[in-house]
Structure 1
Amino acid sequence: MSYIKAGTDVNGNDVKLHYIDQGQGSPIVLIHGWPATYEMWEYQLAELPKHGHRVIAYTRRGFGNSSKTWEGNDYDTLADDLNAVLETLDLQDVTLVGFSMGGGEVARYMSRYNGARVSKVAFVSAVTPFLLKTDDNPDGADKSVFDDMVDGIRKDRFDFLQSFGKKFFGVGVISHPVSQATLDWMQSICQLASPRATEQCVYAFAATDFRQDLATLKVPTLVIHGSSDDTVPAKVSGERMTQYVSHAQFVEYSGAPHGLFVTEKERLNRDILAFAAGGTVEGTADRY
């Protein structure tokens, strides 16, 4: 296994991030969602390096085979971890792709590090701009939604993950966009997370306001979201992104659930490649 050191924890222990680095060419860095690992990018890792790109994916602290720290499950720390990845591998002209919770890392990194080393950013099913309902964010979700998630995790994390996985991929009574084997695979990688990080990151992606972070974006920006995403609904996330990033391109995948990196893998791969190459993305509509 390959690891990148991302500083030390409060006890002086090294924090190590598990990562994969394959292919050659202009770099694409993939940031996974909650509560998965970089392995969720299986179909992207198998395809993107075939097209002249160096593709790097890493697992955030607290998840998978990365260090299980007690603290540090906040976006400032996670942005610092992303910076450690970019600096350690000395990456330049990077296309950052953040999925779900990973979109928050992209936004916070770009403001915290002034977009260093990055030429393009993509938000896929992302939690940005701000999920929590507040007086100045009335379209967000009530805090009780996230409290219920944490309660479910504490009561029976494995049962929670099983139910969450079905919603994640849009599995219902008559809808089966992925196999049971895929659901089992996703649960197996999510189970590797520490209970502490699993809980703390719920509040991190729920309560972190990324609106000011997004206002700093100057590079080309792509936003992809499924119209049938019941995990992070497009109306409170993807559809609102151009309010804060006026030059962003918004692409809606009609009928797609949250986990479109599997259900729409061929289209997502094409769109990431087109965007990384600086070309047009099919189905894109600029929303100003």
Structure 2
Amino acid sequence: MGYYVTVENGVNLYLEDINSKGNKIIVFLHGWPLDHNQFEYQYNVLPGMGYRCIGIDWRGFGKSDSPVSGYDYNRLSDDIRKIVEVLQLDDFTLVGHSTGGAIAIRYMARHNGLGVSKLVLIDAAAPTGFTQETASKLLEETLHDRPNMMQGVTDTFFFQYITKSFSEWFLQMGLKAASWSTANIIMTLRDEKLYADLPGIHVPVLITHGIHDKVIPFSHAEELDKSIQNSQLVPFFYSGHGLFWEEHNKFNRLLMQFIEA
């Protein structure tokens, strides 16, 4: 079931809420510049196993409203808090991929992990995101030839082979975002650091990361594992930045094991 939640005046975020009667809740935060649909290969399995899966399109992405401002981690994490309050969510697992992982980390620190019992970080863009050089290149392409930028992202995202059809689906997902929100998040990934947020995480944390990741290097995951209490790092040996698809069977099993432990 899909519906909207108002997070501030004039800004409504789209949620896909699958199996609302599930007895264990998983909240998914997608990566840049995608939307909740990136977790299709989790939605195919987990609701049937009794989990309630809530996929959120951040502001500016997917089906959500696209205001001209509000693309820093504080505002994005405040949006998540508003959704948690409106839906009265508690004892849920928060899953964040790439920039979604960074937003999840800020949520844990800024809002004391309200309602979160466990945290899963997938190829998280943390504690830092893009280098100055990468950000400058992506920003230039976004402002002048966004489809070509998205094609480049698609080409470097995966380690395993993807079909032409999958590539087109993935590329079009990224192009659903507003151009200005796409650009703003690039600057956020360039400018914001999350080192000070990491000591504020006090729940069990599962860190998963593809060792062939060309977007966010595996060394970021190792740094997170050293800096977060009660964390475990699981490398994915056949994945780039998209282990949620490239090794989705392994990830789905691992996620359920982590939640049930």
| TM-score over 0.5 (shorter chain) | yes
Higher-Rg structure is 1
Per the TM alignment, residue 64 of structure 1 is displaced from its structure 2 partner at its CA by 1.3
Q: Is 1:167 the equivalent of 2:163?
A: no
Give the secondary-structure state (helix, strand or coil) at the position aligned to 2:145: helix
Aligned runs of 1:1-288 on 2, under 5 Å? Answer: 1-8=2-9, 14-23=10-19, 24-131=22-129, 141=131, 143-170=132-159, 177-235=161-219, 237-278=220-261
Q: Distance in 2 between matches of 1:243 and 1:204?
A: 24
Count of paired positions: 258
TM-score when scaled to structure 2?
0.96
Q: Distance in 1 between matches of 2:153 and 2:94?
A: 26
Give the secondary-structure state (helix, strand or coil) at the position aligned to 1:126: coil
Q: Distance in 2 between matches of 1:246 and 1:199?
A: 33
How big is the alpha-carbon RMSD for the aligned residues of Structure 1 and Structure 2? 1.2
**1:66-85 superposed Cα distances (whole Å, 9 cap, x missing partner):** 00110001110000111112
Identity over the aligned pairs, expressed in percent? 31
State the 4+ residue runs in structure 1 displaced beyond 6 angstroms: none
Per the TM alignment, residue 246 of structure 1 is displaced from its structure 2 partner at its CA by 3.4
Q: Are the aligned partners of 2:238 and 2:246 in contact in 1 as well (CA < 8 Å)? A: no
Give the secondary-structure state (helix, strand or coil) at the position aligned to 2:200: coil
Per the TM alignment, residue 243 of structure 1 is displaced from its structure 2 partner at its CA by 2.3
Q: Distance in 2 between matches of 1:58 and 1:5?
A: 12
Give the secondary-structure state (helix, strand or coil) at the position aligned to 2:209: strand
Q: Distance in 2 between matches of 1:231 and 1:144?
A: 13
**1:206-260 superposed Cα distances (whole Å, 9 cap, x missing partner):** 321111111111100010000000011111x111112210321000001311011
User: Higher helix fraction: Structure 1 or Structure 2?
Assistant: 2
